[in-house]
């Protein structure tokens, strides 16, 4: 058991920028790509991951101090520190049973592919930590390792189901054939889709409103660099920055929004030849069998809409943190809500107006979930010593991914009526989501 733990820990410690390209290189060789082409594609994919991490880190370094200054101007004190996803990941790997999720994910994906219950081959194995984190939360509430592992196994199954449903929409947004995202934060789509469905009943929300359409209407003011400049400048002023410091922040935001689509092109450059080789291989051996490559969310990072919405959500999230009764979280490290904006991008098809409304409405769910899970994360930090905390201090993650479903799993694990009731509601939301995404898939196939 210790040997197994050591092996999986070593593999996953390589990180997404090394581990995922290595997997893709092996897949490329397996499907008869020329070695030099497979190697080039794999290295380019690693560069894309590192480039995206650098730009996100740069943006966080610019926005977090502004968010902190904006919070300090209010004088409100909140007790739970936001450690972001990195803290959640550290606590997840510190859980004694963390290594079990890696083979569980591999086995479930393999069985579902063999039984033709999914079309997605999930190579985003590094993000297994998200399933471990779900298990940690369930274990923190129920105290049962078995219930925790079952809950995480359910997430593994559902993320493959969502990857299949979202594939055509993702292919349309990225222009990368045969690729999807198998990230588990898309499970929040069942919460977002009913809101989108209602908004589409009103004419004003049905207008074409992606970044491209916006450029046609307001010209240069819809360009990435200009939007980033304006949003950054306004955020700086709201944080109490001087004009000079606000201008610096505005240029940093402009740079980030300009660089995101540039880096995202590397994903297309790396994945297109790999995807074509995989599809050719499958067609020769499995007639009429379609296989999608499941990757991390950054393949969608070239969509300007997601970054515009994430940036605008910074002051909105802080505003909710200050006014929501019972909230204990002061958002900092997790201030960019990627786990909300990217699923909203898929749900709305990139409609900026609906994305903003949906994300604003659902932001409180994240803060309340972060408050609810703060005790569990704090107890794990104390027991594992993975995170150093001062006496009386709590740690949490302000933008905890798919918060509603994680809460439902903890309640189901406790066999509570609340959990059963919410699970029924979630299932109804999933039926709507599945119906809508299957409809869109057919429509996009016709358009193509």
pLDDT value at position 6? 66
Query: What percentage of the chain exceeds 70 in pLDDT?
Result: 86
The region, left, alpha or beta by phi > 0 then psi within -120 to 50, assigned to residue 402 is: left
Domain that holds residue 412: 1-447
Q: Which residue has the tokens 């989108």?
A: 196
State how many domains the chain has: 1
**Which residues of the chain fall below pLDDT 50?**
218, 221
Burial class (CB in 10 A: 0-12, 13-18, 19+), 40: middle
pLDDT value at position 331? 82
Cα(124)–Cα(136) distance, integer angstroms:
20
Q: Which residue has the tokens 């490290």?
A: 333
Cα(304)–Cα(386) distance, integer angstroms:
36
pLDDT value at position 168? 94
Contacts of 148 (CB under 8 A, 6+ apart): 97, 134, 135, 136, 138, 139, 142, 413
pLDDT value at position 76? 66
Q: What three-state secondary structure class fits 335?
A: coil
Cα(20)–Cα(5) distance, integer angstroms:
19
């Amino acid at each position: 058991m210790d040997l197994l733990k050591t092996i999986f820990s070593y593999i996953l410690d390589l990180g997404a920028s090394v581990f995922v390209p290595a997997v893709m290189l092996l897949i490329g060789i397996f499907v008869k790509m020329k070695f030099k082409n497979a190697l080039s594609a794999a290295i380019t994919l690693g560069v894309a991951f590192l480039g995206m991490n650098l730009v996100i880190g740069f943006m966080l370094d610019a926005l977090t101090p502004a968010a902190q200054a904006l919070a300090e101007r209010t004088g409100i004190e909140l007790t739970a520190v936001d450690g972001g996803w990195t803290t959640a990941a550290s606590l997840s790997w510190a859980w004694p049973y963390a290594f079990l999720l890696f083979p569980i994910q591999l086995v479930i994906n393999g069985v579902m592919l063999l039984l033709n219950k999914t079309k997605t081959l999930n190579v985003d194995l590094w993000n297994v930590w998200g399933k471990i984190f779900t298990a940690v939360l369930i274990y923190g509430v129920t105290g049962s390792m078995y219930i925790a592992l079952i809950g995480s196994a359910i997430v593994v199954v559902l993320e493959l189901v969502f990857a299949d449903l979202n594939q055509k929409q993702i292919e349309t947004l990225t222009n990368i054939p045969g690729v999807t995202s198998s990230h588990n934060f898309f499970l929040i789509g069942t919460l977002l889709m009913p809101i989108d469905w209602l908004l589409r009943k009103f004419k004003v929300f049905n207008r074409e409103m992606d970044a491209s359409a916006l450029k046609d209407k307001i010209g240069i003011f819809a360009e990435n660099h200009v939007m980033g400049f304006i949003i950054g400048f306004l955020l700086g002023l709201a944080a109490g920055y001087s004009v000079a410091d606000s201008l610096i922040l505005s240029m940093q935001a402009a740079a980030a929004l300009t660089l995101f689509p540039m880096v995202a092109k590397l994903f297309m450059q790396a994945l297109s030849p790999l995807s074509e080789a995989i599809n050719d291989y499958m067609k020769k051996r499995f007639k009429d069998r379609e296989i999608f490559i499941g990757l991390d969310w950054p393949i969608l990072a070239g969509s300007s809409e997601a970054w515009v919405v994430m940036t605008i959500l910074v002051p909105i999230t802080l505003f909710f943190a200050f006014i929501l009764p019972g909230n204990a979280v002061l958002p900092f490290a997790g201030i960019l809500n990627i786990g909300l904006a990217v699923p909203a991008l898929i749900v709305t098809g990139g409609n900026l107006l609906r994305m903003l409304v949906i994300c604003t409405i659902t932001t409180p769910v994240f803060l309340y979930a972060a408050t609810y899970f703060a005790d569990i994360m704090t107890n794990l930090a104390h027991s594992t010593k993975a995170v150093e905390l001062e006496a009386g201090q709590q740690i949490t993650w302000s933008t905890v991914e798919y918060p509603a479903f994680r809460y439902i799993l903890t309640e189901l694990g406790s066999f509570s009526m609340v959990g059963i009731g919410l699970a029924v509601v979630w299932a109804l939301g999933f039926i709507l989501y599945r119906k809508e995404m299957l409809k869109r898939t057919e429509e996009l196939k016709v358009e193509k």
